[in-house]
Chains A and B, each alone.
Chain A
Amino acid sequence: MPAQNFKHALFCAVITLIIAYPILGLNLEAQGINVTLTGADTFTIVSVFLAAVVVFLFQLFRDNIMGSLQGALSGLSSGSQKEPMAENKRAKIESWVLTGIVVLALFWPFFVSRGAVDLATLVLIYVMLALGLNVVVGLAGLLDLGYVAFYAVGAYTFALLSQYTGISFWVSLPLGALLAALFGLVLGFPVLRLRGDYLAIVTLGFGEIIRILLNNWTSLTGGPNGIGGIPDPTLFGMEFGRRVKEEGNTSFHETFGIAYSGEHKVIFLYLIALVLAVFTALVIRRFMRMPVGRAWEALREDEIAARSLGLSRTAVKLSAFTIGAFFAGFAGTVFASKQGFISPESFVFLESAIILAIVVLGGMGSQIGVVLAAIAVTILPELAREFSEYRMLVFGAAMVLMMVWRPQGLMPMRRIHIELNKQD
């Protein structure tokens, strides 16, 4: 057991470094038109390493620490209800930790560079996408290789609506998501009776069809030239630009009497993405606890048994597919608003592959794992810009190594259950 603990602890410490160092230890700084990477001061770097050491030690002696903690806890409560109490406590601690992370994430952008916040927004978009795809692939077990299509539907819905009707971000957000969900429903209906590989191929084709359609329907979508001038989100009618573009809106910096800064917009977008990502996670969590979430798992585990209980295969799969598509549409709207310009280039197959990689890397079905993987997959390539030609190579190698050494993902889904007496 100690040897295993040691390996596990080492792994956790390395993960801590991989995640913490890029976020805290490196800053993207704009110098003129170039973005350069600068290292943080020694204090930060030392702290990051200290944190990794703490994680290592904690994981190494986890059993002892948790054991004595639990002993102390059960000493407080009456002995008879020990198991459920521990369970409750763990769930509580977990939710506190999660809340803590979200609170940290809320304040974090005010202390870092603009480039870092921008990158973090992208990470959050990937978190949304991966959480959505996780429902389809991780929970329902449907291999969808064309997920990016729904992302594109969300993004183009906002871009087109704003261009032709001047609709705002907030109105478009639910519309884009609903339209993407509708696409999921319509596509899913005929193809979900296909199994495994066949489903993968058909969804792959669908993803490409949407992209090619966007590319060629020049009169509507502008084809490869894309659509520009997509408006930023507003905060209760306040715009974040230097000058107000829309009649009747006010501007943020004037309302609050502060100096204009481009950073406000970036931070605001980040915060929106954060709120939406948390919203996505909570909604999907809720679904997982509802009967429909169990039905996804049941159908994935044993289709014959699930059907023998009266579950309709099509209805269950379709619900997962549609919900997944809905959140892709969500993410697409945020993406369009963040970029201000979209073109079919942004929705190539590679995107589907990256989102899928995040889900697999994160450990199918687990939400925290997905968040960690989204951070790793988005940030690492940004750091290795000099090696950009080798990016896919490194990416591929990392995936292969991962599958060999840790096929269950970074944080495999741990179902909440109590281990009863281990002795029998």
Chain B
Amino acid sequence: MLVLENVHTHYGKIEALHGVSVEVNKGEIVSLIGANGAGKTTLLMTVCGTPQATSGRVILEGRDITHEPTSQIMRSGIAIVPEGRRIFSGLTVEENLHMGGFFNTKAEIRKSQDHVYELFPRLKERESQRAGTMSGGEQQMLAIGRALMSKPRMIILDEPSLGLAPIVIKQIFEIIGHLRDEGITVFLVEQNAHQALNLADRGYVLETGKIRLHDTGKNLLANPEVQNAYLGG
């Protein structure tokens, strides 16, 4: 579904990714864990085309998207829940969702909207409320809902549990599992390593711009190196 081959990404002269290769197969949940500043967000944004990889290749469903503009990539069945949620706080919940389905027909939008409200009944209750006035958990739900509006075949999530209460985190992870059951491929970036690896079919560990480890979720959880570095011993 998504393949990164030896990807290098630069911010100006500084190289943030030093040859990263990652593969996400159809129907999987793949988790990428790593410390702050390891380059997780950079990796996801490289997939989205901002910034673009300076060398290596990014392939989405067999198509080389390395040099495609962001707007084109994001209309090809892939959606991202960006780090820090980035909902449109001045727009209402419903308007936020409609932005997510910007390139779909009215009928499609209505259908996806109903679906999102089914997943997150909370959002339905707050339909006409300004998104910025909601709690962090609700905003995260909205960010996920907005990403789902375009009916993506693959969804990328950048630290969806960041700054949320444990009970809300549990809810969010349940939803992510549910998305996989619906047939959506999930690429999940987390610092919350335990839950992310527990849920994942496979996992990668990123350290200062390089893939350090790569295994099934279960094996990584059991790996002493991972336990030491990311699971608090």
Contacts and interface: CB of A to CB of B under 8 A. Distances in A.
Interface stretch (A101-109, A161-169, A204-212, A307-315): A307-315
Interface string A304-327: 111111111101000000000000
B71 A417 contact: no
Contact of A420 (B69, B71, B125, B146): B125
Given A305-B82, A307-B74, A308-B74, A294 B95 contact: yes
Interface in B126-178: 126, 128-130, 146, 150
A415 B146 contact: no
A399 B72 CA distance: 43
Contacts of B79: 308-309
Interface stretch (B18-26, B83-91, B198-206): B83-91
Nearest to B146: A309
A2 interface: no
B212 interface: no
Interface in A105-160: none
Contacts of A309: 74, 79, 99-100, 102, 146, 150
A308 B89 CA distance: 16
Contacts of A304: 50, 82, 86
Interface string B196-220: 0000000000000000000000000
A75 interface: no
Contacts of A415: 90-92, 130
B50 A307 contact: yes
Interface in A289-314: 291, 294-295, 297-298, 301-302, 304-313
A97 to B, nearest CB: 23
Given A305-B86, A309-B74, A298 B125 contact: no
Interface residues of A, number: 23
Given A291-B102, A295-B102, A418-B128, A308 B91 contact: no
A291 B100 contact: no
B80 A310 contact: no
Nearest to A308: B80
B71 A297 contact: no
Given A415-B90, A417-B128, A310 B82 contact: no
A311 B86 CA distance: 15
A311 B128 contact: no
B74 A310 contact: yes
Contacts of A417: 92, 128-130
A420 B128 contact: yes
A279 to B, nearest CB: 26
Contacts of B90: 297, 301, 415
Interface in B88-108: 88-92, 95, 98-100, 102-103
A302 B131 CA distance: 13
B115 interface: no
Given A294-B95, A305-B87, A310-B103, A420 B129 contact: yes
B110 interface: no
A309 B98 CA distance: 11
B99 A295 contact: yes
B111 interface: no
Contact of B88 (A301, A312, A313): A301
Contact of B98 (A294, A302, A307, A313): A294
Contacts of B48: 308
Which of B75, B88, B95, B129 has the largest count of A CB atoms less than 10 A from its CB?
Answer: B88
A298 B50 contact: no
Interface string A410-424: 000001011110000
A305 B102 contact: no
Contacts of B69: 312
B74 A297 contact: no
B70 interface: yes
Contacts of A291: 98, 102
B117 to A, nearest CB: 15
A102 B89 CA distance: 34
A294 B91 contact: yes
Contact of A307 (B70, B129, B150): B70
A301 B103 CA distance: 19
A306 B91 CA distance: 13
Contact of B86 (A297, A302, A312, A420): A302
Interface string B48-82: 10100000000000000000011110110001101
A209 to B, nearest CB: 30
Given A307-B50, A417-B128, A302 B88 contact: yes
Contacts of B74: 307-310
A297 B98 CA distance: 13
Contacts of B146: 309
Given A306-B99, A415-B92, A418-B128, 20 more contacts: A291-B98, A301-B90, A302-B87, A304-B50, A304-B82, A304-B86, A307-B50, A307-B70, A308-B86, A309-B102, A310-B74, A310-B75, A310-B102, A310-B103, A312-B69, A415-B90, A415-B91, A417-B129, A420-B126, A420-B128
15 contacts: A294-B98, A294-B99, A298-B99, A301-B88, A301-B89, A301-B91, A305-B87, A306-B88, A309-B102, A310-B102, A415-B130, A417-B92, A418-B128, A419-B129, A420-B129
Those 4 A-B pairs whose CB atoms lie nearest each other, nearest first = A310-B74, A305-B86, A312-B71, A310-B75
